[in-house]
Structure 1
Amino acid sequence: MALQRLLLLFLCFPAGVGTSWLPALSGFCSAVYKQWIPDTNYENSSNWDRGRVPCATDRVVFLPEKKVSVYVESSHSILDLNLPRDAEFIFGHDAEFAASNGAQEPGCDGGTITFRDPDEHQWYDPTLWQAVVSEDDLDTGHYLFTVHEESVPCHHDSVLFRPQSSFRVGMDSDDQSLILRSISVLGTKFINDKDFQEFLKTNTGKLQFPDLTAIQVTNERCREKSGCECGNSVNHNRICANLLKHLECPAIECREPLNPVGHCCPICGATLTLQYTETFDLELYRNRLQHLYLNTPMYSSIQMAMSKVPKAPAITGLHQREAATVIQVLLLDQQTGENAGRLAVALAMEIMKDINSQGATFGITEGEVQTATGSGSERHTGGMTGGAIAGTVVTLLLLLLGLASLVALFMRGTLRFPTLPFLKKADRHMETLGGPTDKGFDNPIFDTDMPMDLPGLYSTNEALKTVSYSSSGVHFVNPVYDETEFNI
């Protein structure tokens, strides 16, 4: 077994990555298992209205209108047994029922004991599942912390029902289909849809999965390094409604709590939203945070959930090349009062520093932090990550391009700068120092010293009547208008 876990560890580890923090990787791989918690076992005291297993002087009653499958693990003596109209008992190797002689047993007061309603457990109830990364973690109790949507089996998860147990799970869903990688029932693992559909047609399948008629078993795990969306968002309201039947959201001690995507309750703490490239590896980065921070004494009490979620509609489509999803990192601490969320915020800031310096190495282009503590909420955007650097370069290129365009327009004469007063003064000063400025060659028409008599230019006196001369040059006379009206 140890060798198998070591091989699994290396299969999950990306090629070309250093192994200086290899021991921290043993907790995560792309495959996730979700185990169903409740059962309908006879020996489970929580299944009986008196909070204990029936004894020899009890009259055992099953509600007649209910359908149920019951697993019996050991032998029991009972005084009386009332069965429902549609039920089955699955007996273990040493299990049996025997008639009691009515003798008193220690701790058994006798009377009627009733089996609880087996239809009260729903698939989309996040309190009824445990998430682990390997089946071995079920024995050690090493469960994953997730947002509420991901507490329920996601599309690429493997679902486990304990081998020696019976159950009845209701499927009250807003979605028409349920996609799973695999599902294990009574020790049998189903990895294709055909075999599981055949099981659902059996009496045991009908009693344990009364509503699971649209389930699909694909045997496909998530194949994206950056992770896959869970696929439970369509049932978000149903998941939260089932959660609140059993639990209340924790009291909020921050002024402006956060509402993480996929979570039912507002929180005091921090969330990081990461934009990424195709080189981003979700499990590799999760392991990095686990090793650098959560394995240290300072942050060991913090709960972290990392998942791929849809990008907020407000920013979707601004950059067509960006992914339509982001990576959300949820951080929760156990602090209360004014200190609620402060340790989680401190960790979020440490992670942002790491992103600013090393984010591009892991395929992170930008990171944003939202925080909520006992005194308020803030938002912080990451600095010079890969995306920020690229944005700065593009801005500089645009400025240079604009400057080059202005120079080109000026050289063509399309754009001219206005004459400044001090340049005019400098021109007059040069005339004083060097004498009259050179006016170039003489123009016989516009020369200011043009004589009145222009032989050869105009042949008749009539032509001269249409031309007027002055010290400033030549202008033509319009015979329609009286010239004297315009000469002052």
Structure 2
Amino acid sequence: MYFYTNAVVIALVIIVASASTVKWVPNGSFNLPNNYKDGKLPCSKQTVVLPEVLSASVKLQSEIDVGGFVLPSEGYIILDGVVMLGDSGEENCTDGNAFYLERSTSAWNQAGAWSSSRFNAATPDSERLPCYYDKVEFPNSRYTARLPQLEQTVRVLKIGDKSYGTQSFRTWVSTEVDTEQNFVFNDYMSTGVSVRYMVCTHKFGCPCQENPIEIDCSVKYCTQPTCVAPVKPPGFCCKVCGGYITFEVDDMFNRKAFEELVDKMVSSYSSNLVYHIGFTPVKRSRTVLLVVVEEGEYTGRSAEVINDIDRSVDRDWFKGQKQAFYSGSPLSKAGMGGKIFVSVFFIVILVLSSIYLYYYKLPTVEVPFLNRGTRGMFRFQRRSDSVVSLTSRRDSTTIGGVRTAFRNPLYDSKRGRVQVAESVVEE
């Protein structure tokens, strides 16, 4: 339930969310095909030509392989990945220019259209939009904004330095002429924006919006997860490495105690862990959503802390089922257990085989060698009760300087133990 300040409040527990500023930033991702004139990403033989003046920043994400750049005279380029210049031998890539178009038209519910200090890596895309407690700012630059279909509540709305209320904003949108800012009415010929001060009276908290809208993920660039079995929490456009927990709450849920539990356990693991506590993006949702991920390289700690929190949640805080999901090990360590087992297995087999061959199956192996100009042979034999002599027989014959026989140390010993009967053939 939401409560408005123009009513009288008596003996109500009021949860006031900390106000934050959410700014309109038209999508300027370098990695989106629809941001180019021909609708395709540039390849390694092409030169990327950016507009002479950029009204918004362009973000270069992930690994980029292009022939070169023609940079703007004014503007900002944010590098969040690796850029490689020059022909990489890519197939089906022809020389030429790829023209980047600064498409300044975005929808209210478009992923990446807003920025705020309250957003972190664990914030769902469905909550990277203005919430009922936010201050919304539109810049004084050239853009087109398509307004939301369902009514969205904000605390403050500003265009440049000027503030607007619900009605004054509608009037301005209806009468705007020759302005750089172009706001497009929704299908109901309404702004879909309500400007008012509102607080939450639920002990367990309130969703970001009373009327959540479906996030438009069509222009969201998703990087390749660096873990086995990545997860996709509700409200996310992309799969991520980490974990999340969902459970339905009632009036007995103590949100403050839950937040303290999460903060304590996350802080005890690592400083690069971030989390977000909210609700699933469903109208009048009472399903709490906790997301924990890692900023930077994925190590698996976020999955571990989700597992620990899952076991520590008070049974009285939720009703029905509580579900926890978390990703697997980092790709860099994936299959290490299996690889170690296979390696040890083959080492053991090799050692046992060597011992077996040495004692029982080792054949006679002769290897030629040179010794100060004298040619000879090494003979390797299995162990026996007799001492094996590798000295050449003094009375052995030679052919071309190479001795043709060795003394058999077993011959005399066998003759000593075996009676050999000689038969005389009489004529």
Q: When the two structures are superposed, what TM-score results if normalisation uses the length of structure 1?
A: 0.43
Which is strand-richer, 1 or 2?
2
Max radius of gyration: which structure? 1
Which is helix-richer, 1 or 2?
1
Q: Which of 1 and 2 has higher RCO (CA within 8 Å, sep 6+)?
A: 2
